[in-house]
Amino acid sequence: MSEKKADRGKWNSKLGFVLAAAGSAVGLGNIWGFPTQVADNGGATFILIYVICCLCVGLPVMIAEFAIGRHTRRNPVGAFKKLGSGWFPPLIGLWGVMCGVMILSFYLVIAGWTVSFIFEEIFYYLGWHGASAWVSDLGNGPKNAFFSILFMAATIGIITGGVSNGIERATKTMMPVLIFVLIIMIVYVFTLEGSMDGLRMYLLPDLSGLNTDVFFSALGQAFFSLSLGMGALLTYGSYLRKNQNIVESATYVTIADMSIAFLAGLLIIPAMFVAQNAGITIIGEDGRLFSSATLVFDVLPGLFKSMGGAFGLIFGTSFFLLLSMAALTSTISLLEVPVSYVIDEHKIARKKAALLVGGLVLLVSLLISFMPSMIDVFATIFNNIGLPLGGLMLCLFLAWFWKAEHAITEIEQGYEGIHQSMVKPVWILFVKYICPLLIALVLVTTLYNLIF
């Protein structure tokens, strides 16, 4: 038994684990997803609802994923198989693994774009306008394929290093750099003309846009941004030591993710208004701010160009470097789930498993590279439906089959005070009733909106 545990690997330090999980959470969802959702959904009103979703649904589910992972010391499929009996429990895990694989396949293409834009900035600075245009064409299949392969190679490289030497070391280095670059960029954007208009739009609540959709967008965003619902954090939890406080760690990860999303908004929204000040269009024909791909890969590069010279170069490359790093710590976690599944269940060595699974995911990515319009379809199916469904099944399984009391017995290791604390009854109430109810509501509404 102990030999098997040694094989699976463990986090080296408490901070290393928190940073790795925060690295998984902080990604493209924070830096381009969150700010545009805020702009689209009523500014500060959305922020408030988002915070409530993260704390009331995200945090309890994250604690649940960590507890199941650490208790079973397995990948999602093995974990549910170990806790339940019959054919259904492993299916919950398998659903997660599949969603992860599909999310990774399109995430990789977007991650590839973030790297290709580092080159775009450099080529533009050098005056190689042809090369700059080639590398920045989002519909350029061979170019997309090349950068997806590059990104997958980096992800596989880190994963093969193992849990503490690969994932922990890489995220521990990248996360502080990411925060540093982000803060420097915010400070700089604030000195530019037009940024205060953006700040106003970001921070002033606009109640006129408030409707039920806002609440549902916020919950979906919370799931994706916190990396929940497919067993990524369950897998990270399976490498946890028993003396680590799960509740405390989950709280840190949630707060780190929310804070970085908030900081990203402080950068992106004011930057858009600076771009508008420089003559770049930021509002579409429908009267709404441009979102996601147009914003990040069109408006912002336009802004960097308008800055001109070395300044534009430094600012532009730093921004896309920031995005690439955020994406890399997330693709690591997405790939780690199917890799740990293959290692645990099929007894294949880590390096071989990473190459095998990574290669298979890459095949789907290559297809998407040539047909980027598939990204929206994949995102709808696997993010908007797949993740909440996974989260719902996880809560129901934990609360009604494994039983919340057993989870508490796991959580009390590393957190003895839980029995005297309000955390215990509150968490049980949320994981048993409130989270499943809210998630079911989102799911039904998402499906309803899709169909009608």
> Cβ atoms within 10 A of the Cβ of 289, count?
22
* CA–CA dist 94, 367 (Å, integer): 23
- For 409, residues 6+ apart whose C-beta sits below 8 A from its C-beta are none
In the complex, minimum distance from the CB of residue 373 to ligand TRP, in angstroms, rounded to a whole number? 20
Q: What are phi and psi of 374, to 5 degrees?
A: -70, -20
- Give the x-and-dash track for 226-255 against ligand TRP (CB under 6 A): -x--x-x-----------------------
- For 275, residues 6+ apart whose C-beta sits below 8 A from its C-beta are 194, 282, 299, 300, 302, 303, 306
Judged by CB under 6 A, the chain residues 374 through 433 that form the site for ligand TRP are 387
Q: Which of 21, 28, 77, 163 binds ligand TRP (CB under 6 A)?
A: 28
Q: Tell me: does residue 265 bind ligand TRP (CB under 6 A).
A: no
In the complex, minimum distance from the CB of residue 258 to ligand TRP, in angstroms, rounded to a whole number? 11
Stretch that binds ligand TRP, among 134-142, 202-210, 224-232, 395-403 (CB under 6 A): 224-232
Query: What string of DSSP letters covers 128-166?
Result: -HHHHHHHT-TT-HHHHHHHHHHHHHHHHHHHHT-IIII
* CA–CA dist 259, 144 (Å, integer): 31
Q: Tell me: does residue 224 bind ligand TRP (CB under 6 A).
A: yes
Stretch that binds ligand TRP, among 20-28, 184-192, 248-256, 316-324 (CB under 6 A): 20-28
Q: Which of 25, 300, 394, 411 binds ligand TRP (CB under 6 A)?
A: 25
- For 373, residues 6+ apart whose C-beta sits below 8 A from its C-beta are none
Return the DSSP state at 414: T
In the complex, minimum distance from the CB of residue 159 to ligand TRP, in angstroms, rounded to a whole number? 13
- Is the Cβ of residue 30 or residue 114 nearer to ligand TRP in the bound state? 30
Count of residues that interact with ligand TRP, criterion CB under 6 A: 16
- Is the Cβ of residue 223 or residue 315 nearer to ligand TRP in the bound state? 223
At position 350, the amino acid (one-letter code) is: R
Cα 401 to chain center, whole Å? 28
In the complex, minimum distance from the CB of residue 98 to ligand TRP, in angstroms, rounded to a whole number? 12
Q: Which residues bind ligand TRP (CB under 6 A)?
A: 24-25, 27-30, 103, 224-225, 227, 230, 232, 330, 333-334, 387
